[in-house]
Amino acid sequence: MKIALLHYHLRAGGVTQVVLNQARALTEAGNEVLVLSGEAPVYPADWEGIKVALIPSLHYDRYRPQGTVCLAKEVEGTLRGHWPGGADIVHVHNPLIRKNTLLIGALKELAGSWPLLLQNHDLAEDFRPDVYAGEEYPANCHFAVINSRDYRFLLEAGLRPQGLHLLPNEVRKIPLTPGLPKTRYLYPVRGIRRKNTGEMLLVSLFINPGETGGTGRNPPAKTAALTQPPTTDQDLPVYRRWKETAARLELPVEFETGIGSSFADVMGTARAVITTSVKEGFGFSFLEPWTAGLAVTGRQIDYVCRDFQDAGLRFSSFYSSLDIPAEYTEPELLRRKTEEALARIYLAFNAALPPSIPEKLTKIFGDRKAFDFGAMDEDMQENILNRAAKDRAIRRHIRDANPFLQSLADQRFDPREIEENRRAVLRSYSRERILEILEGIYKKVRLPVTQCISRPKLLEQYLDPLRLSLVGMSPPDRGPHDGP
């Protein structure tokens, strides 16, 4: 088959890696592949042997006035120049988030002439009004998603099973340098807001409770580490705040351990990988470490992990909520902040807050004796962290409310579970298996489909107040050069 893969850019990042993995797998299987991008690869060596065509007007440009260029004609001209007879499939990555003012309109023009597969790694309706498009989505083309929750929501919003496809990501075996001292729980991510860094700091208080709160002459052992800083202006202030807080409270946490060291060396120092993220699309962090024989522990994102459990993985060392007793949480303040955040989000989506939500929130917050740390904003999280770091009795109360924290100081990981999970990942998310799924989807994409997405219904699926995490929301919008 002749397959065009289209993405805004080829910078380092999760979606770019998915595009590269697909291009390599398809090429190795004997398909002809052309990658269309608004920017050249940052690491050209990674793309050796893959044909890349640049279309500059594909790049991020959310603030450009409409109509300055006919992107559809540029895409079509590039495809015809490469394949005079046309492509069999045009596979577009993340087209429904507003990162380019022209792409959705261009796809509507192309949909009548080309077999389109629109793969969505993120959806703006998922509490991301900053990238919500102001126009209807393309109709009568095929869509793909990376988790079963998004699949279910898009079906509810009007898509048909024959035109909607579940397409997981390939998971690569990660490198690990053997023989290094395994001294810390490693969080191998960029410290963006939804990674919930404040929770990692709180959890660090319980890894070796007797060694926290040291002095300058006898600092505590570093038992948790985050590997990379964020790269966007929106996330940097929050990240710097957590670094300053960790230093002020002398927490046993390191930052930026991935800078100046190879990834394999950093992973080699991990006793286990920890995650405190409140929101993921696919969830590589729940899968990749097992391939290197490393256990994963921390916060379980149910809608992500459910797919992995269906694939045979077990997550015995996880928690779904880090409960903070109500006496430390200011429930009324949290209720008010949650309601205000929902009102802002609905307004940003040009919708009114449903009148039932304030009453629902009052009932929810009035009945609880504990509240999830991950649902709070940074101000509330820092206040709890300050108190817990300074007061052993508060730490004990929080620990007693969370079985995960009770076992964390001397957590033992079952080697059988590690091996079973390693095998499950390689069985269900290997290159061979994902290629098989991808080529099966392509055969279906070549068949016409009549369908469209109801944007109001899709929004209704995602904007569930019970799912809102204040640190999982998009940071304030600051300009056109944001986002990975």
Averaged pLDDT for residues 212-218: 41
Compute CA distances 273 → 259, 285, 320, 352, whole Å: 18, 8, 17, 41
Q: What is the pLDDT of residue 66?
A: 53
What tens digit of pLDDT does each residue of 287-299 get? Answer: 999 999 999 999 9
Mean pLDDT (the chain, rounded): 91
| CA proximity to 58, closest of 115, 110, 13, 101 | 101
| CA proximity to 46, closest of 89, 26, 14, 17 | 17
Averaged pLDDT for residues 443-454: 96
Q: What is the pLDDT of residue 477?
A: 46
Averaged pLDDT for residues 82-97: 96
pLDDT at 412 over 50: yes
Q: What architecture is the 184-426 domain classified under in CATH?
A: 3-Layer(aba) Sandwich (3.40)
pLDDT band at 12 (very low <50, low <70, confident <90, very high): confident
What tens digit of pLDDT does each residue of 377-404 get? Answer: 999 999 999 999 999 999 999 999 999 9
pLDDT at 478 over 60: no
Q: What is the pLDDT of residue 368?
A: 87
Q: How many residues does the chain have?
A: 484
d(CA 308, CA 311): 5
Please state the domain extents for the chain.
Answer: 2-170+430-453, 184-426
pLDDT at 308 over 90: yes
Lowest-pLDDT choice from 101-110, 216-225, 255-264: 216-225
Averaged pLDDT for residues 401-416: 89
Residue 269, classed as helix, strand or coil, is coil
Q: Do domains 2-170+430-453 and 184-426 have the same CATH topology?
A: yes
pLDDT band at 64 (very low <50, low <70, confident <90, very high): low
For residues 466 and 345, the answer to whether their CB atoms sit within 8 Å is no
pLDDT at 479 over 80: no
Averaged pLDDT for residues 281-285: 93
Averaged pLDDT for residues 119-141: 94
pLDDT band at 341 (very low <50, low <70, confident <90, very high): very high
What tens digit of pLDDT does each residue of 181-190 get? Answer: 998 999 999 9
Secondary-structure class of domain 2-170+430-453 per CATH: alpha beta
d(CA 168, CA 330): 40
Q: Strand (E) positions, 279-384?
A: 296-299, 318-319, 323-325, 370-372
pLDDT band at 366 (very low <50, low <70, confident <90, very high): confident
User: Where does residue 30 rank: exposed (0-12), middle (13-18), buried (19+ CB within 10 A)?
Assistant: exposed
| CA proximity to 309, closest of 284, 286, 280 | 286
Q: Which long-range contacts (CB under 8 A, 24 or more apart) does 44-49 make?
A: 46/20, 47/10, 47/20, 47/23
Q: What is the pLDDT of residue 62?
A: 58
What tens digit of pLDDT does each residue of 167-207 get? Answer: 999 999 999 999 999 989 999 999 999 999 999 999 999 98
Q: What is the pLDDT of residue 464?
A: 85
Q: What is the pLDDT of residue 208?
A: 62
